[in-house]
Structure 1
């Protein structure tokens, strides 16, 4: 940092001769400032060029050496572009399943043909429909709340339903098949499971799994329904599903029912699907 000093004034008055001997020697004029000595500044530009050039030469040398080595080797044969022709097996292709074994053909056909047939000597139930078909509104009427059931069936993608029934003595049998589109969910399974839940809720119920159905169940209600002026009514039911079809079976009688009765009907009906 430069420090500014004050000038030197003469001690005599104006016009008085100045004694040269009394005047101090004039200070020498300051010369140009010289920067202090410091570390020598390096020249980076030239060094960087030398290093870059050496790297480029190294890459070129490696590439040339690789070409020379490859040139001395024997050429490798490439595999042929054409593949061997596979001999086609003789004989006809696999035969399609007959309609009796193709379940999809059977379930897309007349659903009424899959219902159990009325046994010999049985009377057709009075409530049974003439053609055996149940439309959406008719099917919803079977529920305690038809209006709510109608909306649920639409949401479950109800497709169609059919039922049959017969009477032998005091015993009545009803079998119902309901088919669903099942584009969004497994509605047939959900409907069957819901029916099983409500059947299990009744007091005095004996439940058994239906063999060969996965989660199908059969129920026997040991406590009868009673109403003044009428005989007590015992009931049994079974619910299962296969593919897009829910299966429901009901039996009622004025006498107690056995597990074998409802189980036999349920198994025979499932075998037809």
Structure 2
């Protein structure tokens, strides 16, 4: 799990409203005084811009007032005015069924939309609802990650992890954001893709997930350490509405691109 981008907190600007400036040590540049002079210059430019705007507006009104008024045609001579009419009774479209209405599906039990574990796979880690505190604990900077997720409007997380074969580990997370939260799922997926792509050990571009819109998968080169089993990793991030789909995969053997792409495709079908 990658850390959310840290939020840089700037110090408050020094108070430059006072006319009393302490004596500076010899050779010390007058920082506050230079700042005040810059503010004055900006103020003069702003005043000039406002005066120019007001003058231009007044001139425009004067020119318009000297022109002859343009007569508009009567409304009864204006064609093409039409208003939508309700369909006759009995011809209204049928409302979407619960199976067809995606919003009904994603607002229900999100755990039911997770892919089931494959036959023979063993449960490993969270299987169901995951608390926000537990979710951000995997980040390098949990506090910053928590603040970032709350800003995006995170709503809830459903997660499922399993082990299959001898070493393959898979985790699928459905991270849902609140409707109208400025595209929280879209921003989350974009940020994660940029972070993963910026890592030295990941493909900076990734592979587009066909038919997913903005989904991409990333295959990491093998990590080898003396005394340890080789480690291969792959990740996929894709957005579907207000849900961000995250797929994490690791193995002691090379992971094929089709393996994680197929998993992402099947998970999207359930959404």
Q: So what's the TM-score if we normalise by structure 1?
A: 0.63
Match of 2:255 in 1: 257
C-alpha deviations, 1:206-229, integer Å up to 9, x for none?
Answer: 7210111211101111x2233443
Q: Kindly name which structure, 1 or 2, has the bigger radius of gyration based on alpha carbons.
A: 1
- 8 Å contact from structure 1 (residues 116, 269) kept in 2: yes
Match of 1:185 in 2: 182
- Structure 1 residue 159: Cα displacement: 0.5
Match of 1:108 in 2: 107
Match of 2:120 in 1: 121
- 8 Å contact from structure 2 (residues 224, 231) kept in 1: yes
C-alpha deviations, 1:102-132, integer Å up to 9, x for none?
Answer: 100001000011111111111111x224xx1
**After TM superposition, where is structure 1 displaced by more than 4 Å over at least 4 residues in a row?**
none
- Structure 1 residue 92: Cα displacement: 6.1
- 8 Å contact from structure 2 (residues 196, 202) kept in 1: no
**What secondary structure does 1:224 align onto?**
coil
- What does 1:87-166 align with in structure 2 at a 5 Å threshold? 89=88, 91=90, 93-125=92-124, 127-129=125-127, 132-166=128-162
- What does 1:220-231 align with in structure 2 at a 5 Å threshold? 220-221=219-220, 223-231=221-229
- 8 Å contact from structure 1 (residues 136, 153) kept in 2: no
- Structure 1 residue 165: Cα displacement: 1.4
Q: So what's the TM-score if we normalise by structure 2?
A: 0.64
Q: Within 2, Cα distance between the matches of 1:181 and 1:89? A: 37
Match of 2:211 in 1: 212
Ranked by relative contact order (alpha carbons within 8 Å, sequence separation 6 or more), the top structure is 2
Q: Within 1, Cα distance between the matches of 2:267 and 2:87? A: 44
- 8 Å contact from structure 2 (residues 130, 159) kept in 1: yes
C-alpha deviations, 1:62-96, integer Å up to 9, x for none?
Answer: xxxxxxxxxxxxxxxxxxxxxxxx99745364222
Q: Within 2, Cα distance between the matches of 1:155 and 1:90? A: 46
Please point out which of 198, 203, 207 is paired with 1:201: 198
- Structure 1 residue 261: Cα displacement: 0.5
C-alpha deviations, 1:135-192, integer Å up to 9, x for none?
Answer: 2211111211111111111111110001001111211111001011143411101111
Q: How many residues of Structure 1 are paired with residues of Structure 2 in the alignment?
A: 184
- 8 Å contact from structure 2 (residues 239, 245) kept in 1: yes
Q: Within 2, Cα distance between the matches of 1:244 and 1:143? A: 22
Q: Within 1, Cα distance between the matches of 2:154 and 2:138? A: 14
Tell me the C-alpha RMSD between the 2 structures: 2.0
Unaligned runs of 5+ in 2: 1-84
- 8 Å contact from structure 2 (residues 126, 161) kept in 1: yes
Residues 201 and 88 of structure 1: CA distance in aligned 2, closer, same or farther (over 3 Å): closer
Residues 123 and 91 of structure 1: CA distance in aligned 2, closer, same or farther (over 3 Å): same
